[in-house]
Structure 1
Amino acid sequence: MNLKKSLFFSVLFIFPIFLFAQKATLQGRVFDEYQKPLEIAIVSIPSLGIGTNTNTQGFYSLQIPANQLLRIKVSYLGKSKDTTLQASENTILEINFYLKVTEIEAISVFGRKKDTLQRLEVSTFRLDAKRLEAMPSAFGDFNKILATLAGVVSNNELSSTYSVRGGNFDENLVYVNDIQIYRPFLIRAGQQEGLSFINPNLAQEVSFSSGGWQAKYGDKLSSVLSVNYRKPTCKGGSLTLGILNNQAHVEGLSKNQKFTYLLGIRRKSSRYLLRTLPVKGEYLPQFLDFQGYFTYQLSKKWSAELLTSYAQNRYLVRPASQQSTFGTINRVLRLFVAFEGQETMNYDITQNALKLTFQNEKLKSSWILSQVFTTEREYSEVEGGYRLCEINPNFGTQGFNECVLTVGIGSEYLHLRNRFQAQIYALENRSVYDWKANHRTEGGFRISHEVIDDILQEYNFLDSSGFVRINYRNFANNFLESNRFSAFLQHQWDIDIRQRLTAGVRLTYWDINREWVASPTLQYALRSARKDMIWKFAVGMYQQPPFYRELRSFEGNLNLALLAQKSWQAIIGNDWNFRGWSERKFRLTNEIYYKYLWDVVPYDVDNVRLRYYPTNEAFAYAYGWDMRISGELIKGTESWFSMSLMKTEENVAFDNKGFIRRPTDQRFTLGVYLEDYLPNNPTWRMNLNLVWGSGLPFNVPNNPNLRNVFQGKSFRRVDIGFSKFVDKVRFKGKTLFQSLWIGADILNLLAINNPVSYSWVSDLNGQRYAIPNALSARFLNLRVIVKW
């Protein structure tokens, strides 16, 4: 009897332990209200202290005790949802997580989908394309919102170019739906430039990285701008009318929702703004841009996308005269120039891409076939006769502010007959595989074929005091056909819910210089246990194989042995979300970085044109600190304040001068963006954009020994906009438009003459003077945006 009792109590005691020791697998997917998978949602069991993150397809998997009633908690962007279940040996739990928020939360920096994911990446910001509607700018270029970010420099309102952390305009990557975008080649000045490729009316998700990016991105040295055009869920459209630009877009989908379309057209007419430039004359610019994005769901796992674009840009100017005053307090000089002739710049660029994607619960693989074709022509026949004289600066005296002594007289002649054609064809694969909920591997390759035909015919001579000097005479006819190959592999490991490690390598080859380059990268992110703070570290090698622009010398000769520019970059920073006064949400980011570059290709900057010395006989460095704080300075708005300190120098072998400043060495940059509204009527709004940057170095043209020895003036600009928003425009009880936005922008509010480049003239004694070429003056721009 005692033996039977012992056996009974033993079984009674051991059986619950056995039940508890049994393991079950809980897995499934987390979706939002639109049935789209949520990435990095946290699925946890608080009572057991375990949890995991969902992957890119919203999938998760947890090992839990079997046959126990457990509370499952799902968290995402500060919101949570609970449910209970008793898991058997294998349990599948699909979770719908609703993200609907109030209107104020929807426009705040913390209420955005994928914001947490972006915070885990080094030097990466997520941008709201819709915010550009209210931001005061000349042409509504999306890139202007970048100028207010830390580490970004854009000192020309007529151009969409920008430099990042000491790099130049050619060192920035741009992707649209994983498709690489190219910019024109022959552009000399901002007024010749059309619209940037990114159409804000079509964009949904935008992320910008100023350094330390992952291996999956391409072969540049400075930054990555990645944009995803949206997939429409209903029919709609918009129309923008303004003095300087007009835009329209339509979107919709088929009845069975398998086919969607997104079409946008933009027209930029800068004629009125260009009339405020120092050079007076007849300006006839016309820039047109069309883009289309189409998707089709072939089956449950297969989908197709087509991105097509065409840009037609025409720029014609017949300059008449120019008057510029410069000098010191004691000696004021004035330059008078009379022009004859005209300048024409035409370029047409077509970019198309077809993307075929396969996706299941673990694998997403995309095949991309793309084509770029550009034809650019630059014709100029302009002669300018100038007179340089001293001005009487003494107020109240006879002849005040008038020419009292002529110190220089001459003329300059410019002849251009340049033509450039390029064709780029590429086949690319990008794949993502989620091994588990916390392991993801990405890989891919790209093969491209390039055909470039370049005809260069240009010369410039100066006639000063009876002496004729030829500044340059360049004639060349170049044809280049080549192939490029690149591949990458990277792995992301979510060590736990607080740590993420990403390691990868990128490989490139170009059959012209026959150089193989391998670029390893490493990123690590650590969440603080107490505060909503993330520490981020990154180190890696980044390289940029030469494209055609780097190969060509000032004279038009090609150096086909030019190697890729290379750099080691290291970054450390943190990202802190905190509550300010009245429980308002703010985000503070700080980063310090260091770059060491070798095999550097030196260059000069003239307006927005980069002129390279095609040699690898230079090395350089850049280091700095970027800080940005953003949040609800005013309740229900988003404002930000960015500041950058940076230094970059290079040591070039051909000048024997040691380290000198690089052309983009802007030591201090400040960017401010403010939003406000009337307290009793928030439909009346104000938006202010302020940029201040210290002076850039500049040099005497065609003189390598005097590179970057002069200090330019600082860049200061304030743009302000006022707007009225009307929701649901109705007439006789019917809704005509979903919304109406009316705005007035005052561009260059303080009317500061910011120099963009310098022209050089000589006096009777042969002394040369740098004449600043200023940007546009104060201008009132009116805009109306209608949405339906």
Structure 2
Amino acid sequence: MKNQYLLLLTCFILSTIVSAQDAILKGVVLDENNIPLQGANVSFDNSGTQSNKNGVYEIAIPSNQEVTITISYIGLKNIQFIINLEENQEYEFNPVLKTDVEQISEVVISGRERKTVEGITILDPETIRTTPSANAGVEGLLKSLPGVSSNNELSTQYSVRGGNFDENLVYVNEIEVYRPFLIRSGQQEGLSFVNTDLVRNVDFSAGGFQAKYGDRLSSVLDITYKRPTRLGASLDASLLGGSIAVEGISKDKKLAAIAGIRYRNNSLLVNSRNTEVNFQPRFADIQTYISYNFTKKFELGFLGSLASNSYDYEPLSEQINFGTLQTVQALTVRYQGQEEDQYDTYFGALKGTYLVNDNLTLKLIASGYHTQEQEHFDILATYALGTVNTDIGSENLGEVEFSEGAGSQLTHARNDLDALIFNIEHKGTYLSDQHQFDWGIKYTSEDIRDRLQEYEIVDSTGFSIRPPLAEFINDQPYTPFASPIVPFTGARAINDTKIDRISGYAQYSIRSAIKDNEIWANIGVRAHNWNISGDTVESSDSQIVFSPRAQFAIKPNWKTDMIFRLSGGWYHQPPFYRELRDSLGVVRPEVKAQQSIQVVLGNDYSFLLWKRPFKLTTEVYYKKLTDVNPYTIENVRIRYRARNNAEAFAQGIDLRLNGEFVPGTESWVSLGYLKTEENIDNRGYISRPTDQRLKVGVLFQDYVPTIPSLKMYLNMVYQTGMPGGSPSYADPYDFQTRLRDYRRADLGVSYVVVDPNKRMRKGHFLNTFRELNIGIEIFNIFDNQNAITNTFVRDAASRRQFAIPNFLTPRVFNVRVRMKF
């Protein structure tokens, strides 16, 4: 039945392929005496209009592309300029036509200026689509930015300036999106929600963002899906999967739609690891964005997504070598059992936009998210710890010779979760000259039904190891210990939790000047009220928080092109379901919102180097966090203590130099330093799980000068080691060791067979493609051994406990084909 719905939805999208939304250029045409000119021609391509008796003109132009505008009047010199506006953007341009002075030959006007003063990083969607990454997409490119870190190439999750994965906001067309709850490892994730084939704009803020964005502590990723201007399709295929996207327009330019289907298979990456497995992952989704303009003032849009992720995992054996060159040790594991996970998510949203007049815009957004998840596994791991034969001339080179410890571990889970989330939100914007007012109010209903049943049994030499708790007193052999066997760790709970939220914001922005210095300022406040209830939850009082925020930017009237920014405020993160549930599965409604006072000082310096444009962006930040909810990270699974018993801080500096290192391409080098620590129960400060001290990222694009169609993309990341965690029941204050440094370089080489600037002879079959690229990708080209977590194993002979790293993917080759029609 589900497949029939998918087929019907796909057919509907393909049969209603539609048109794009325009932007508006308007103003008053004046002569050199500032007298309005009636009948001035304003034109582009084959379209145009004339100014009225008051010199006023208004013309609709295609959005998201460079349009050459010509303004002419008999007896006066023409003005010609290039303009590039965003969808629904209105830009006022008041030209002055003169008789004796030459006009500027070309003026480029862009909608990006506002985002620069707000400290927003703008990423090129085409760069996202071409950059090689084991998990290609927006998140793969984000990880090359300063302040953004991840030591797991299999995951789409990332931490920003000391925050964790749950502290990042993600919007698509102003609609908040969610990720599944039960995923515990990167290889289970499959696909990110964001379909890069559909992306038009990517904006990213690493902190100090405005009040109009939601209640999270770290970052905002704001995605805008494109609206097509033509009928077309694209296909991207590789050994890891593929995607198909279709788009088009209607003749009346009222209905527009774009849709994408994706499939991914991580077998190539997982099978390359040192674990022998039977692995059957199936990750697939379908997304669409449809919009219809009922009038010039009202537009209705629909964003829909269906995703089905199946993960079947049967490990067989594994050997991990560690230690030094002189003493090489190994952990060999034999497995029995398997894991069967299923994540099905359904998302739909309607967005209505009404342009009341030139100054007032009103929006209404309603969305629903439903996820059904299961995590079922029974895996028995029998291990041996021993010394490896390093004798080069020996027939048993690399094999374990002397076993120093043996044991087994049984892990079991029957976890099921069903979550239903509804949102309805109103937003408004009012413009008056250089003033802007924004406001919004939102209601959210979260209904979560969760069954948690998991345990771990650890056995050594035939004896079950009990948890190190005070009630388990061992008085043998004098007193027989006849209690039943209990698991070493375990959690069992059934939760029915409902959370109702009301949030809202109001903010004011102004653009002005002090003498010859341009200034921009924003001030706003958010409020968030929530109440937790449910059959299995103790009743609690509702809670409310207020979050004032502000931004200020100035562009001095200097010969040097520089912008200075200061932003910050008081940020809150009201607890989501995952933050309310402790390690035993108990929901604690008394958990308060985590708080963060943030200050960000930034500078943009634009200059010419080798006669090409470059920009150096520098940001210094400090965060003071209170009511912190401590947590541990196991791969990508976050487990909270559900207690506000800590305080923390994060401080650092981010630098990014981007520009045309090679003419006609964009590359960058980023550097970040971070220090984040927490103080739990006033015991002193220790490193937080996300304490990523040093980060270096490089994105480099190049081509062969004599063969410009042969292109190269290099994505490199170096990060110092993060805290490696601690064994179960261990005090984190006693385990502050770190994982090894994370070093990774991914290389992509492609050849452009055809594109709009490279065509074959007339009638050649390759001309049916608008673009065709064929290439290879090499992931982890230097074959670095990176680790994600530690496995702690006991050695009975030496009575020591070893932290054995769990390694990620080695060098992997991939073939990729991209085409557009």
Normalising by structure 2, report the TM-score: 0.83
Could you say which residue in structure 1 is the equivalent of 2:780? 748
Q: Which moved more, 1:527-536 or 1:481-490?
A: 527-536
SS at match of 1:710: coil
Could you say which residue in structure 1 is the equivalent of 2:400? 403
> Structure 1's 97 and 559: CA in aligned 2 closer, same or farther, altered over 3 A?
farther
What CA distance in whole angstroms lies between the structure 2 residues aligned with 1:392 and 1:242?
39
How far did residue 112 of structure 1 move? 9.0
What CA distance in whole angstroms lies between the structure 2 residues aligned with 1:112 and 1:722?
34
Check the 8 A contact 2:429/2:437 in 1, yes or no.
Answer: yes
> Structure 1's 331 and 354: CA in aligned 2 closer, same or farther, altered over 3 A?
same
The question of 1:352 aligning with 2:367 is answered no
Q: Which moved more, 1:396-405 or 1:197-206?
A: 396-405
Q: Which moved more, 1:139-148 or 1:567-576?
A: 139-148
Could you say which residue in structure 1 is the equivalent of 2:521? 501
**1:759-774 equivalences in 2 (<5 Å):** 759-765=791-797, 766-774=799-807
Check the 8 A contact 1:475/1:555 in 2, yes or no.
Answer: yes
Could you say which residue in structure 2 is the equivalent of 1:716? 743
Among residues 441, 444, 462, which one is paired with 1:445 in the alignment? Answer: 441
How far did residue 759 of structure 1 move? 1.4
Check the 8 A contact 1:729/1:738 in 2, yes or no.
Answer: no
What CA distance in whole angstroms lies between the structure 1 residues aligned with 2:444 and 2:627?
24
**1:168-567 equivalences in 2 (<5 Å):** 168-359=164-355, 360-393=357-390, 401-434=398-431, 436-469=432-465, 470-496=487-513, 498-512=518-532, 514-530=542-558, 531-567=560-596
Could you say which residue in structure 2 is the equivalent of 1:83? 97
Deviations 1:187-243 (A, max 9, x none): 010111121111111111110000000000001000000011111111111011110
Could you say which residue in structure 2 is the equivalent of 1:609? 637
What CA distance in whole angstroms lies between the structure 2 residues aligned with 1:606 and 1:351?
28
> Structure 1's 112 and 288: CA in aligned 2 closer, same or farther, altered over 3 A?
farther
> Structure 1's 57 and 739: CA in aligned 2 closer, same or farther, altered over 3 A?
closer
Deviations 1:473-515 (A, max 9, x none): 2110000012101000000010237100100000001012511
Letter in 2 for 1:384: A
What root-mean-square deviation, in Å, do the aligned CA atoms of Structure 1 and Structure 2 show? 2.7
Check the 8 A contact 1:646/1:666 in 2, yes or no.
Answer: yes
Check the 8 A contact 1:29/1:57 in 2, yes or no.
Answer: no
Check the 8 A contact 1:494/1:501 in 2, yes or no.
Answer: yes
The question of 1:145 aligning with 2:141 is answered yes
Letter in 2 for 1:173: L
Check the 8 A contact 1:623/1:647 in 2, yes or no.
Answer: yes
What CA distance in whole angstroms lies between the structure 1 residues aligned with 2:440 and 2:169?
17
How far did residue 59 of structure 1 move? 5.2
What CA distance in whole angstroms lies between the structure 1 residues aligned with 2:730 and 2:164?
19
What CA distance in whole angstroms lies between the structure 1 residues aligned with 2:64 and 2:750?
34
Could you say which residue in structure 2 is the equivalent of 1:45? none
> Structure 1's 490 and 529: CA in aligned 2 closer, same or farther, altered over 3 A?
same
How far did residue 743 of structure 1 move? 1.3
Check the 8 A contact 1:139/1:244 in 2, yes or no.
Answer: no
Deviations 1:423-459 (A, max 9, x none): 001110111110x220000000110111000001111
What is the count of residue pairs matched by the alignment? Answer: 714
Could you say which residue in structure 2 is the equivalent of 1:640? 668
What CA distance in whole angstroms lies between the structure 1 residues aligned with 2:693 and 2:800?
30
What CA distance in whole angstroms lies between the structure 1 residues aligned with 2:597 and 2:816?
45
Check the 8 A contact 2:726/2:732 in 1, yes or no.
Answer: yes
What CA distance in whole angstroms lies between the structure 2 residues aligned with 1:210 and 1:622?
13
Deviations 1:584-616 (A, max 9, x none): 110110010000000010010110111111000
What CA distance in whole angstroms lies between the structure 1 residues aligned with 2:337 and 2:400?
27
How far did residue 21 of structure 1 move? 13
How far did residue 770 of structure 1 move? 1.4
How far did residue 373 of structure 1 move? 0.2
SS at match of 2:187: helix
What CA distance in whole angstroms lies between the structure 1 residues aligned with 2:581 and 2:811?
38
What CA distance in whole angstroms lies between the structure 2 residues aligned with 1:545 and 1:219?
7
What CA distance in whole angstroms lies between the structure 1 residues aligned with 2:750 and 2:553?
40
What CA distance in whole angstroms lies between the structure 1 residues aligned with 2:633 and 2:57?
52
SS at match of 2:628: coil
Check the 8 A contact 1:29/1:58 in 2, yes or no.
Answer: no
Could you say which residue in structure 1 is the equivalent of 2:698? 672
Task: Point out where structure 1 has 5 or more consecutive residues left out of the alignment.
Answer: 1-19, 42-53, 62-71, 74-81, 86-95, 100-110
Check the 8 A contact 1:740/1:787 in 2, yes or no.
Answer: yes
Check the 8 A contact 2:36/2:54 in 1, yes or no.
Answer: no
How far did residue 675 of structure 1 move? 0.7
Letter in 1 for 2:804: I
The question of 1:787 aligning with 2:820 is answered yes
The question of 1:777 aligning with 2:803 is answered no
Task: Point out where structure 2 has 5 or more consecutive residues left out of the alignment.
Answer: 1-32, 38-52, 70-84, 466-486, 533-540
Q: Which moved more, 1:213-222 or 1:726-735?
A: 726-735
Normalising by structure 1, report the TM-score: 0.87
What CA distance in whole angstroms lies between the structure 1 residues aligned with 2:731 and 2:463?
24
> Structure 1's 477 and 585: CA in aligned 2 closer, same or farther, altered over 3 A?
same
Letter in 2 for 1:473: G
What CA distance in whole angstroms lies between the structure 2 residues aligned with 1:741 and 1:392?
47
SS at match of 2:204: strand
Among residues 656, 660, 663, which one is paired with 1:628 in the alignment? Answer: 656
SS at match of 2:224: strand
What CA distance in whole angstroms lies between the structure 2 residues aligned with 1:786 and 1:564?
47
What CA distance in whole angstroms lies between the structure 2 residues aligned with 1:21 and 1:291?
51
SS at match of 2:139: helix
What CA distance in whole angstroms lies between the structure 2 residues aligned with 1:21 and 1:741?
53
Deviations 1:394-414 (A, max 9, x none): 656896544332111111101
What CA distance in whole angstroms lies between the structure 1 residues aligned with 2:421 and 2:542?
19
Check the 8 A contact 1:729/1:739 in 2, yes or no.
Answer: no
Check the 8 A contact 2:135/2:156 in 1, yes or no.
Answer: no
What CA distance in whole angstroms lies between the structure 2 residues aligned with 1:247 and 1:84?
53
What CA distance in whole angstroms lies between the structure 2 residues aligned with 1:121 and 1:668?
26
> Structure 1's 386 and 31: CA in aligned 2 closer, same or farther, altered over 3 A?
farther
Among residues 700, 725, 732, which one is paired with 2:726 in the alignment? Answer: 700
Check the 8 A contact 1:648/1:661 in 2, yes or no.
Answer: yes
Check the 8 A contact 2:740/2:787 in 1, yes or no.
Answer: yes
SS at match of 2:215: coil
